[in-house]
Amino acid sequence: MTSPAGWESRATSVQVADLVALSADDWPGRLVATAYLQGCPWRCTYCHGGALLDPTLPGTVPWSHVIDLLRRRRGLLDGLVLTGGEPTRQPGVVAAAREVRALGLLVAVHTSGAYPARLPDLLPHVDRVVLDVKAPAYLYGAITRAGAGAAAADKAFASLRLVLDSGVDLQVRTTVDPAVLTPDDVAELVAVLADLGVRDHVLRDARPGPVVDPYAAALARVPRARLHRG
């Protein structure tokens, strides 16, 4: 059954690709479980989650297993992080967040902001959002490789404004792709986000590893001095 807003009313529809039973890193200061949801509309240059991209693949962890874990670990866990992939593409994610909240636990969502129209229904049921803002708007296409880069940028910045307006705890993260972003690009993005009202913005380096070809070759040509800045 689907709600009028287009959301699936059953959390059991959520396609969970992986479940980490205990993490102290995914939500600083909290002990959480982390559910990785299947599917993403973008193909970012530095992506390390290639197995999570295909939206047609079914989940491998039933949602009932997630809930059972949370019930067993009440008193130890503070909450659940929903990440991906892109969790907001899942029609059941609102119902999932509500179920977790009903257990007395907190909910965080890690998102690229690819589906801003879905956030107004989701935000009342989450306690924290980590939003991945990838670049200044004019470079979004170079990183997301999603066709119309301007459209991807519009969606991400629309999502940012919605989260800021909601008052939900927000951290913005930017993975600095040195094959695309210059220091001036990064400085511009930092300034733009500050002007929009972002108070918690974390810069991270793209990590060499199982990245998507042909980006691996481009990253290999970047001087090592521009990698792993912190």
Taking only the tens of pLDDT, the chain with its 230 residues reads 444 455 666 898 999 999 999 999 999 999 999 999 999 988 888 887 777 888 888 889 999 999 999 999 999 999 999 999 999 999 999 999 999 999 999 999 999 999 999 999 999 999 999 999 999 999 999 888 876 668 999 999 999 999 999 999 999 999 998 888 999 999 999 999 999 999 999 999 877 555 555 566 666 666 655 554 44
Q: Which candidate, 169, 113, 108, 178, places its Cα nearest to that of 143?
A: 178
Which residues, other chains included, contact 6 with Cβ-Cβ below 8 Å and sequence gap of 6+?
91, 118
One-letter amino acid identity for 34? T
Q: What is the pTM of this model?
A: 0.88
| Contact call for residues 99 and 151 (beta carbons, < 8 A) | no
Q: Which residues pair with 18 in a beta bridge?
A: 36
Closest CA to 80 of 103, 59, 49: 103
**CA atoms within 13 Å, Cβ hemisphere of 44:** 25
209/67 Cα distance (integer angstroms): 33
Other Cβ atoms closer than 10 A to 49 = 17
